[in-house]
Chain A
Amino acid sequence: MSHTVLVCDDAIFMRTMISDILAQAGFEVVGEAESGAQAVEKYRSLKPDLVTMDIVMPDMGGIEAVREICKDDPEAKILMCSAMGQQALVVEAIQAGAKDFVVKPFQPSRVLEAVQRVLG
């Protein structure tokens, strides 16, 4: 059985790209969210094995979403997706409970490596 993934990003382009990379690698993308609030809500309903989370999103940012999700499920496996120059935010996300991160522009191989690490 393949792992289920929830992809959170406010840009459709990014969601599509991430979904493609993961689907090609055999993951099952079970949902998408375009805001932090949505991400929290969908995590509760879908219980995915993995979440990819953009940092900067409207209506509750990615970091806040990580905090909320980890409050319910400390073992939640969240992979942060960040842009260059957001190191401080990534660190904050890690402190909040994110398990790993990838930096845009994405290289598929790095994304998959990170996913493998997060899923152990």
Chain B
Amino acid sequence: MDLSKYAGLFLAESREHLSGCNQLLLMWEREPANRDAVGGLFRSIHTIKGMGATMGFTGVAELAHRLESLLDAIRQERVTVESGTFQLLFRAVDALGEAVEEAAAGRERAPDPALVAALDRATGQAGATPAGPAPPPRRRATDTPRARSVQVIIRADAVMRGARAVLAVRRAESLGRVGAVRPPLVQLEREEFDGRLAFRIESAATEDELAAAIRTAGEIEAVRFEEPAPVDGTAGGRRQIRVDLNRLDRLMKQVGELVVARSRLGVLAGQSDDPALAELSDRMSRLVSGIQTEVIAARMTPVGDVFERFPRLVRDLSRDLGKRIRFDVEGEEIELDRSILDEIGDPLLHLIRNAADHGIESPEVRERAGKPPEGRILLAAARERNSVVLRVSDDGRGIDRAAVLARARRDDPARGEAEALSDDALLRVIARPGFSTAQAVSGVSGRGVGVDVAMTRVRQLGGTLEIRSDLGKGTTFLIRVPLTLAIVRALLADAGGERYALPLAYVAETVEFDPRAVTALRSREALVVREQVIPTVHLRDLVASRERPAPSRRPTVILEVGERRTALVVDALVGQQDIVVAPFDAPRGMPPYVGGATILADGAPALVLDAAALR
């Protein structure tokens, strides 16, 4: 049988399991007495072993087997968990991850003999332990029903194996809710059933209890449990399939073009007198909106998918740096477009490394400063209008503005004796490539590369990066990204006869420009809007429009990026439109406030303004 076509699936599922293993190990390590994680670890490794063996990846299977044996010994309390055990388990899970990747890439090799020996030694503790009275098997908390996948194998010599399988299902039903029975009942009634039955059960019973009940159906060869396949666990049990992301990307691109074509059709229909055309255009418009919503929804992925790799990172960093760091995550369920999510991992990585390396102090320093010895890094996601805010905060030493300023002056002697740095100015300085204030340049976040890399990536996504820092108290980085890149609702503004698109995600409101409300804020023109002083930007001046004099009545768009507001004065507002931000090769010297370009409903290109850069 040709197994190569299963390699992708093997890799994807193994990665999922391994990532889960890392999570479980971290959880367990935090509370070594709580063994809840062991069962999950065991099952995941067991699954990888089975898949690896099926694929013929003997190296993977062997390593998984050794690891599984150790976990089994721990599970049955034949082996005691010591501090070194976690180190070994982490090492083995890492090695298994590598083995999986290598095997899938066609470079199978035997596992590291040193690691295998270490695993065997750890497992072998069992033999040395005197066979005292067996400890009572640990029962997991049984109060809440858990979903599990069950595999039942009916003995080959049994008669009417299908009916036997039905009995097994009935027995299982006495302990919980059973679903997804495979093969389905109608096939069980026929003779072609091969004796392998699978179903899902939601039950509060332990696996041992379930297995015992199922075995009373008779003629059962084996009962196996697996963590349920990643079927959505929410009520109603929605069915899911895996879709190749590239396919989704292509679909999205086509929908983007459909959206543009729809707008164009709308314009044409508006110019025509044909009511049938207008009606068809309306109908098309609604249909396209529906498709657009669905496709975007299909691309939304919880940020937890990216977050899950960081606990391990912080753990390793804190060990390498000799620091104590607690890492907390919030808002893992917040969803983002997959294409943004794929890009956001790197910036987050840099910021988290920075926080661990430069932010959190050593335990001694912290204690001297009257702080708890254990530092804290928080990674949090939250939804804010049409954008998502990702926050990386630490309770570390904060950024020493005086030192940053001194360093900046040394780099750039022309720099004036500027007053204290505002947060914005601070960010501009530390986000310069290669800037660092680190006393000793540690290998961790290098020469401050973190912030400038993060800044560049976030800007490429149409997002913004902000910083807040209090000396001695900590630093917070805020990344703000749009929910989805592909299609953006935008306000179209005219300046000197040219049209510019403003993503609605950053538009707080529009007001009429009132010259009487003009004031000054730190020697800049500003506008008083509802008793708030907002600095103004005149779009005509900004884009150096040479056309026509400005009209007397000018709408003003209040842009809001985080807490910062800007009043953008334009000549006219010419409507709203769904735009697809299209790529183009930007000429040198393109101003930072140009965030991209798009094609409008009438077919003309228009520039998309970057709200964050309009200030």
Q: Are B189 and A87 in contact (CB under 8 A)?
A: yes
Q: Which partner residue on chain A sits nearest B216 by CB separation? A: A117
Interface residues of B in 181-206 (CB under 8 A from A): 185, 188-191
Interface residues of A in 75-120 (CB under 8 A from B): 82, 84, 87-88, 90-91, 94-95, 100-101, 103, 113-114, 117, 120
Q: Are B170 and A103 in contact (CB under 8 A)?
A: no
Assembled-state Cα–Cα distance A117/B213 (Å): 11
Assembled-state Cα–Cα distance A117/B212 (Å): 12
Check B582 for interface membership: any CB of A closer than 8 A.
Answer: no
Q: Are A95 and B218 in contact (CB under 8 A)?
A: no
Q: Are A114 and B218 in contact (CB under 8 A)?
A: yes
Assembled-state Cα–Cα distance A101/B216 (Å): 12
Q: Are A100 and B218 in contact (CB under 8 A)?
A: yes
Chain A residues near B24 (CB-CB < 8 A): none
B71 CB, min distance to chain A CBs, angstroms: 33
Q: Are B163 and A91 in contact (CB under 8 A)?
A: yes
Residue from the list A95, A103, A113, A117 in contact with B160, Cβ < 8 A: A103
Q: Are A113 and B166 in contact (CB under 8 A)?
A: no
Residue from the list B163, B190, B191 in contact with A101, Cβ < 8 A: B163
Q: Are A100 and B167 in contact (CB under 8 A)?
A: yes
Assembled-state Cα–Cα distance A87/B189 (Å): 6
Total number of residue pairs linking A and B with CB closer than 8 Å:
38
Q: Are A94 and B162 in contact (CB under 8 A)?
A: no
A113 CB, min distance to chain B CBs, angstroms: 7
Chain B residues near A117 (CB-CB < 8 A): 216-218
Check B280 for interface membership: any CB of A closer than 8 A.
Answer: no
Check B159 for interface membership: any CB of A closer than 8 A.
Answer: yes
Chain B residues near A94 (CB-CB < 8 A): 163, 166-167, 170
B587 CB, min distance to chain A CBs, angstroms: 73
C-beta contact mask, A33-74 vs B, less than 8 Å → 1, else 0? 000000000000000000000000000000000000000000
Q: Which partner residue on chain B sits nearest A116 by CB separation? A: B218
Q: Are A91 and B218 in contact (CB under 8 A)?
A: no
Supposing A91-B162, A91-B185 touch, asked if A113 and B167 sit within 8 A by C-beta, the answer is no
Interface residues of B in 89-132 (CB under 8 A from A): none
B184 CB, min distance to chain A CBs, angstroms: 12
B393 CB, min distance to chain A CBs, angstroms: 58
Assembled-state Cα–Cα distance A87/B163 (Å): 6
Q: Are B170 and A91 in contact (CB under 8 A)?
A: no
Residue picked from A84, A91, A95, most chain B C-beta under 10 Å: A91
Assembled-state Cα–Cα distance A91/B159 (Å): 13
Q: Are A113 and B185 in contact (CB under 8 A)?
A: no
Q: Which partner residue on chain B sits nearest A114 by CB separation? A: B218
Chain B residues near A84 (CB-CB < 8 A): 159
Chain A residues near B160 (CB-CB < 8 A): 82, 87, 90, 101, 103
Q: Are B216 and A113 in contact (CB under 8 A)?
A: no
B533 CB, min distance to chain A CBs, angstroms: 76
Q: Give the number of residues in B that approach A within 8 Å (Cβ atoms).
A: 15
Q: Are B191 and A87 in contact (CB under 8 A)?
A: yes
Interface residues of B in 137-186 (CB under 8 A from A): 159-160, 162-163, 166-167, 170, 185
C-beta contact mask, B197-237 vs A, less than 8 Å → 1, else 0? 00000000000000000001110000000000000000000
Chain B residues near A88 (CB-CB < 8 A): 189-190
Chain A residues near B166 (CB-CB < 8 A): 91, 94-95
Supposing A91-B166, A120-B216 touch, asked if A103 and B189 sit within 8 A by C-beta, the answer is no
Assembled-state Cα–Cα distance A12/B400 (Å): 99
Q: Which partner residue on chain A sits nearest B193 by CB separation? A: A87
Residue from the list B159, B162, B191 in contact with A103, Cβ < 8 A: B159
Assembled-state Cα–Cα distance A81/B419 (Å): 95
Chain A residues near B217 (CB-CB < 8 A): 100, 117
Interface residues of B in 564-592 (CB under 8 A from A): none
Residue picked from B160, B188, B190, most chain A C-beta under 10 Å: B160
Q: Are B163 and A90 in contact (CB under 8 A)?
A: yes
Chain B residues near A90 (CB-CB < 8 A): 160, 163
Assembled-state Cα–Cα distance A87/B164 (Å): 10
Q: Which partner residue on chain B sits nearest A80 by CB separation? A: B163
Assembled-state Cα–Cα distance A95/B162 (Å): 13
Assembled-state Cα–Cα distance A54/B155 (Å): 24
Chain A residues near B216 (CB-CB < 8 A): 117, 120
Assembled-state Cα–Cα distance A70/B529 (Å): 77
A75 CB, min distance to chain B CBs, angstroms: 11
Q: Which partner residue on chain A sits nearest B215 by CB separation? A: A117
A45 CB, min distance to chain B CBs, angstroms: 28
Chain B residues near A101 (CB-CB < 8 A): 160, 163, 167
Assembled-state Cα–Cα distance A100/B215 (Å): 12
B253 CB, min distance to chain A CBs, angstroms: 50
Chain B residues near A100 (CB-CB < 8 A): 167, 217-218
Chain B residues near A87 (CB-CB < 8 A): 160, 162-163, 189-191
Assembled-state Cα–Cα distance A114/B218 (Å): 7
Assembled-state Cα–Cα distance A103/B160 (Å): 8
Chain A residues near B163 (CB-CB < 8 A): 87, 90-91, 94, 101
Q: Which partner residue on chain B sits nearest A98 by CB separation? A: B167
C-beta contact mask, B491-507 vs A, less than 8 Å → 1, else 0? 00000000000000000
A17 CB, min distance to chain B CBs, angstroms: 18
Chain B residues near A120 (CB-CB < 8 A): 216
A55 CB, min distance to chain B CBs, angstroms: 11
B403 CB, min distance to chain A CBs, angstroms: 77
Chain A residues near B162 (CB-CB < 8 A): 87, 91
Assembled-state Cα–Cα distance A114/B160 (Å): 14
B145 CB, min distance to chain A CBs, angstroms: 23
Residue picked from A87, A113, A117, most chain B C-beta under 10 Å: A87
Q: Which partner residue on chain A sits nearest B190 by CB separation? A: A87
B175 CB, min distance to chain A CBs, angstroms: 14
Assembled-state Cα–Cα distance A88/B217 (Å): 17
Could you list 11 examples of A-B contacts with CB < 8 Å?
A: A84-B159, A87-B162, A87-B163, A90-B160, A91-B162, A91-B166, A91-B188, A100-B218, A101-B167, A103-B159, A114-B218
Leading 3 A-B pairs by shortest Cβ distance? A90-B163, A88-B189, A103-B159
On A, residues with C-beta under 8 Å from B are 82, 84, 87-88, 90-91, 94-95, 100-101, 103, 113-114, 117, 120
Extra 5 A-B pairs, beta carbons < 8 Å, given A88-B190, A91-B188, A100-B218: A87-B190, A87-B191, A94-B167, A113-B218, A117-B216
